[in-house]
Structure 1
Amino acid sequence: MMMNPVLRREIKTVLRSWKMFAVLTAYVAIVTIGAVIFIYGTMFNSYDYSFDPEEITWMYVVLCAIQMGLILLAAPAMTAGCISGERERQTLDLLLMTKMSPLSIVLGKLMSSMATLILIIIATLPIFSIVFYFGGVSIFSLLIMFLFIIATACMACSISIFFSCIFKKTVVSMVVVYLLIGGVFCIGTLIVVVLQRGIYYTMYQTDPGLTFPLVVLCSNPGVGFFSLIDNQLGTDMIYSQLYYAYKNTSFLNTIVKHYWVVNFVFDIVISMVFIFLATIFVSPVKKRK
């Protein structure tokens, strides 16, 4: 099976550069520092400066949260310039003149970014081995978490490629992606749900139900992440918040308990939509013809 030419070229150029080594080192260092701070913080909070192995499960939460946050920051930064960068270097026209289809070009750029992000995620496995040493979290749970983070990264990369096709400047596309993912998906959805509940309760003096929050929050990667943590550790952070806020005992509660699956499916669907849109906008000349 022939490898995508764009993917082959990107792998050769990116993995051989010192920037990749610097990014990988900085990423692993940040995750390591988070683990060290958690361990020392746990020891100094105890009376006899001892370490409770049962609290290692919360170290898993901290490391996964750091991983999730760094991926959401790194994915747009690594992908937002994949098409606009070619345009700035005046090499996009040469790329479009080849026999490759727009879909092959977009998928090549996407797979290149995803390969780099997966390599970065795999590099943190030795740090997560501390969790396995003390127990409390299975390897299967970690694999599911990594799969969820990879799906979130794929969503962020797909959106970044789309805006990279639209805007000519890499900085502009990167800012727009951060505003969409951080401002709309993460923060905006929470604000909308809070405002909707307040307005609805003021007008009708009753709870609005779970349907609207479940639809709006499906795009929120933070809600999906903590829902997966609830499912793996039995903490019920997301479920308890929605239950006490809406007091809904319908079948929707079952969806709330496994809401990370809804967010996972949303990431896959959004990725496919933005990849399709990127294939349309990557070659406006061919589109006009």
Structure 2
Amino acid sequence: MNGTLALRPRGLWLVTSLELRQRLRSVRWYVALTVWTLVLLGIGVLGLAPTLYTAQWDGLEPVAAMIFSLQIILVLFAMLLVVPALSAGSINGDRTAGTLATLQASLLSPLEIALGKLLAGFLTGLAFLVLALPSVVPIALLGGIGPLYFLRVVLVIGLLTLCVTAVGLGLSAVTQRQLGSVVLAYVIVFGVTVVLPIAWGSSAIFLEQEREVTRYSSAYLSSDGAEAGRCVAVTRTDSVPRIDLSMPLLWGNPVVLLAEAAPPLPADTWYGGGNGEDPDVLRLLKTGVRTAATITHPAHSNFCEPGQEGYPEHLAEAPDRPVWPMGLGLWMIGGGLSLAVAVWRLAVPIRRLGAGTRIA
């Protein structure tokens, strides 16, 4: 008898191929792929047509870059709507249909069954992602999006797809009904994507702190004109929202993680520089999140331009604290624990099953 953690490529591929064949035999699978492709292509046309119509060719690139960032966020949201349904019913659905016991009674190990179902769900999600790319590539080319930028955002969406698939698999192993696991998967995705960012924004009200802040700004024209245009420092006590303390609420947010894949904005962007690089939604979001993580740093209170008389050269730049290591780490830990739960629940003999649960 194979051990619980036995893993053979042949057994893994057997379960994966069985899962994929079940999907391919379903007409709903082809209908879903067709509708998905048409909807996203339609969204791509809706984003591309106004861009070409309203922007002059010499001003097309910044508009297209902005539209690209909005489209890729929309693709992420669409994936988050589709992915939970791909694996959240894979185990309890088979148990309800009476086919799970056949797999458990075979020479396949629980790890092979769980990984096979996970791989099948992940490959299905990748199929949806690949079909979404044609709606994004044209606008990316018009927006001058670099290949590394494009590959990074696709990689982040792929990793999130894998993790959400694993979470759905774990939920399908611990719940009796397929509907229950699917709903729980959507609740988790909705909570991380919408509820926690709202909680983070609301935390600014409760985490205010009185601090002595020195602001550097250009002086207004005085009566004698002595300080006109000079950078002056004004120190006063202000209420500072310590949203940096509640930043863990944003670590796992998929949109924030997607923004982390965007290249940083040049430091002189707000002073008319930027080396010709165009800001987009993802790059602006990345800058905003990393600024919020170091909101108490004195550099954020400097509103003078470099080279200006009286410019505070002694101020160091605010530290650049990435969010993606913590965010992806949390998702990977959650996915790994969910996979472990699925393997544990697939092990036989099962000590306890809910009332009315079908075995074979």
TM-score tier, shorter chain, comes to 0.7 to 0.9
1:93-242 matches, within 5 Å, as: 93-131=101-139, 133-134=141-142, 136-182=144-190, 184-201=191-208, 205-208=239-242, 210-213=244-247, 215-229=248-262, 231=264, 235-240=283-288
- How far the C-alpha of 1:108 sits from its partner, in A, is 0.5
Instruction: Go from structure 1 to structure 2 and tell me whether the alpha carbon gap of 1:54 and 1:3 turns closer, same or farther (over 3 Å shift).
Output: farther
Determine the C-alpha separation between the residues in 2 that align with 1:150 and 1:30. 20
What amino acid is the match of 2:154? F
Instruction: Go from structure 1 to structure 2 and tell me whether the alpha carbon gap of 1:53 and 1:240 turns closer, same or farther (over 3 Å shift).
Output: closer
- The answer to whether 1:64 aligns with 2:112 is no
Instruction: Go from structure 1 to structure 2 and tell me whether the alpha carbon gap of 1:245 and 1:107 turns closer, same or farther (over 3 Å shift).
Output: closer
Determine the C-alpha separation between the residues in 2 that align with 1:208 and 1:50. 42
- The answer to whether 1:35 aligns with 2:44 is yes
Give the aligned partner of residue 83 of structure 2. Answer: 75
Specify the SS of the correspondent of 1:236.
helix
Instruction: Go from structure 1 to structure 2 and tell me whether the alpha carbon gap of 1:133 and 1:217 turns closer, same or farther (over 3 Å shift).
Output: closer
In structure 1, stretches of 5+ residues that fail to align are none
Alignment counterpart, residue 320 of structure 2, candidates 238, 242, 254: 254
Contact 2:11–2:108 at 8 Å: present in 1 too? no
**TM-score normalised by length of structure 2:** 0.70
Determine the C-alpha separation between the residues in 2 that align with 1:52 and 1:167. 51
For structure 1, which segment, 35-44 or 101-110, has the greater mean C-alpha deviation from structure 2 after superposition? 35-44
Instruction: Go from structure 1 to structure 2 and tell me whether the alpha carbon gap of 1:284 and 1:176 turns closer, same or farther (over 3 Å shift).
Output: farther
Give the aligned partner of residue 338 of structure 2. Answer: 274
- How far the C-alpha of 1:230 sits from its partner, in A, is 5.7
Determine the C-alpha separation between the residues in 2 that align with 1:165 and 1:252. 46
The structure whose Rg is larger is 2
Instruction: Go from structure 1 to structure 2 and tell me whether the alpha carbon gap of 1:120 and 1:99 turns closer, same or farther (over 3 Å shift).
Output: same
- How far the C-alpha of 1:80 sits from its partner, in A, is 1.1
CA displacement, residues 229-281 of structure 1 (integer Å, 9 cap, x when unaligned): 464875332432563696233998412xx323432333222211211122112
Specify the SS of the correspondent of 1:285.
coil
What amino acid is the match of 1:8? S
Give the aligned partner of residue 243 of structure 1. Answer: 291
How many residues matched? 283
Contact 2:252–2:328 at 8 Å: present in 1 too? no
- How far the C-alpha of 1:287 sits from its partner, in A, is 5.6
- The answer to whether 1:10 aligns with 2:19 is yes
Instruction: Go from structure 1 to structure 2 and tell me whether the alpha carbon gap of 1:280 and 1:157 turns closer, same or farther (over 3 Å shift).
Output: same
Question: Percent of pairs identical after alignment?
Answer: 18
Specify the SS of the correspondent of 2:144.
coil
Determine the C-alpha separation between the residues in 2 that align with 1:192 and 1:272. 26
Q: Higher strand proportion, which one?
A: 2
Give the aligned partner of residue 263 of structure 1. Answer: 327
Contact 1:230–1:236 at 8 Å: present in 2 too? no
Determine the C-alpha separation between the residues in 1 that align with 2:116 and 2:168. 14
Instruction: Go from structure 1 to structure 2 and tell me whether the alpha carbon gap of 1:191 and 1:79 turns closer, same or farther (over 3 Å shift).
Output: same
In structure 2, stretches of 5+ residues that fail to align are 1-8, 212-238, 266-277, 299-316, 353-360
